[in-house]
Amino acid sequence: MDGLEPTGMAGLRNVRLTLQFDGTDFCGWQAQAHERTVQGVLQEALARLLDGERVTLHSSSRTDAGVHALAMPVGFRTASHLPLKAFVLGLNSLLPDDVRVLEARDAAPAFHARFSARSKTYLYRIQNGRVALPLERRTSWNVRPPLDVAAMTEAARFLVGRHDFSAFRAAHCDAASPVRTLTRCEIGGESPGLVTVVVTADGFLRNMVRIVVGTLVQAGAGRRPPSWVREVLEGRDRRLSGPTAPPQGLFLREVEYPESPGEPIFRPES
């Protein structure tokens, strides 16, 4: 489970992994009884690699069911002296095909995958067209009406900055404060039939990115003017914003941390 380190962990090695996974067949990151989760399969693989040692995993993000990750940092403390290579190649030989370790490093003692993060970047993919393409169904949201990328871009500008994002949080969100700072909300439409939304912030509320996307699509489809997004933001009421976009189009793309030069790292050659 995620949270602060328990007492008695001083002197243990602090390992940071970077994962990539297809979230389609997972019930999200966090371990759940009788459900297949990313945390669950990684814990089992680590227990085998570490000869039964059970470690506590801390992720940079608690992704929901169906959400993917291009690069999710995960940390844990261990008494093991295995080389970093083993935490990549060894774990990948034990993990299912829909999750892989991209790299491993020995992190500083104070590093925590969640609490040390400076910013997170998410990518959302929209397949825009009347026909829902079979090869896109696991990794994008099919939106049939033509989307106006310029209108979505104009609408997205209202979200950049430090705001109260109460209108963009799920009802069951347990964050203490709805205030977040968005430094980036960019709409891409370079590829025919594909619209992307890239959002960077110092942190995100529950379902925040998916609600932002659902709201921007309302402007892109011409159902609402771009200025409506500002009204939604200022209204601070979830009932005012757009629908929650489905999970399959969402990817955790990057998590940024303070620089830690000199950390040993193993990354397989391409």
Q: What is the mean pLDDT of each run of 10 residues along the chain (270 residues)?
A: 45 95 96 95 97 95 95 97 97 98 96 96 98 97 97 98 97 92 95 96 96 98 98 97 98 95 87
Supply the pTM of this predicted model.
0.93
Beta bridge partners of 144: none
Query: In the numeric block, which tokens belong to residue 123?
Result: 């990518």
Active site residue 237: no
Out of 2, 22, 25, 64, pick the active-site residue: 64
CATH-assigned architecture of domain 13-116? 2-Layer Sandwich (3.30)
> What span, in angstroms and rounded, lies between the C-alpha atoms of 265 and 254?
17
> What span, in angstroms and rounded, lies between the C-alpha atoms of 155 and 166?
17
The torsion angle over the Cα atoms of residues 50, 53, 54 and 55, rounded to 10 degrees, is -60
Buried b / exposed e over 61-81, threshold 16 CB at 10 Å, is: bebbbbbbbbbbbbbbbbebe
Contact yes or no for 200/120 (Cβ under 8 A): yes
pLDDT of residue 11: 79
Kindly report, residue by residue over 51-85, the tens digit of the pLDDT.
999 999 999 998 999 999 999 999 999 999 999 99
Contact yes or no for 19/98 (Cβ under 8 A): no
> What span, in angstroms and rounded, lies between the C-alpha atoms of 116 and 58?
11
Give domain limits for the chain: 13-116, 119-253
Q: Give percent of the chain above pLDDT 90.
A: 90
- 77 CB contacts (<8 Å, ≥6 apart)? 5, 9, 12, 13, 14, 15, 55, 56
- List the alpha helices (DSSP H) in 139-207: 149-157
Contact yes or no for 103/19 (Cβ under 8 A): no
pLDDT of residue 127: 98
pLDDT of residue 259: 87
Contact yes or no for 144/223 (Cβ under 8 A): no
pLDDT of residue 10: 62
Q: Do the domains spanning 13-116 and 119-253 agree at the CATH topology level?
A: yes
CATH number 3.20.20.80 given to 119-253: no
**Length of the chain in terms of residues written:** 270
